[in-house]
């Protein structure tokens, strides 16, 4: 059994926020584990209300950084990790073209 120390909010299926547990509520171990999957957002100002939101299981993985956002060292590391021969590439644009060609992607003008 666990005692709740802060207000815990949840969102229902219609997207409405509601108070799930109040401070002092005693909850079972299974409910405490479920509540632990709620992520606590940092409040903007001290003393403000703390809202909780659900965490996806895959949220722990960091998204891959797009090639056009990488610096030369990161692009070289991508070539090394994916065993791509840069074949005399000197600039970021050259590396992006080589990696894109090796991955079978068509070039883009994203910047």
Residue spans per domain, the chain: 2-57, 67-103
Q: What confidence score (pLDDT) does residue 91 get? A: 92
Between the alpha carbon of residue 88 and those of residues 61, 84, 85, the distances in Å are 33, 12, 9
Q: What is the pTM of this model?
A: 0.41
Q: What confidence score (pLDDT) does residue 23 get? A: 86
Q: What confidence score (pLDDT) does residue 20 get? A: 84
Q: What confidence score (pLDDT) does residue 3 get? A: 84
Length of the chain: 111
């Amino acid at each position: 059994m666990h005692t709740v120390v802060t207000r815990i909010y949840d969102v229902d299926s219609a997207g409405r926020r509601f108070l799930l547990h109040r401070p002092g509520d005693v909850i079972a171990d299974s409910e405490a584990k479920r509540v632990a999957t709620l992520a606590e957002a940092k409040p903007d100002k001290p003393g403000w209300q703390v809202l909780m939101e659900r965490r996806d299981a895959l949220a722990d993985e960091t998204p891959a950084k797009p090639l056009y956002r990488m610096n030369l060292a990161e692009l070289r590391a991508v070539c090394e990790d994916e065993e791509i021969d840069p074949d005399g590439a000197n600039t970021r644009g050259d590396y992006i073209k080589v990696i894109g060609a090796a991955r079978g992607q068509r070039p883009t003008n994203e910047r």
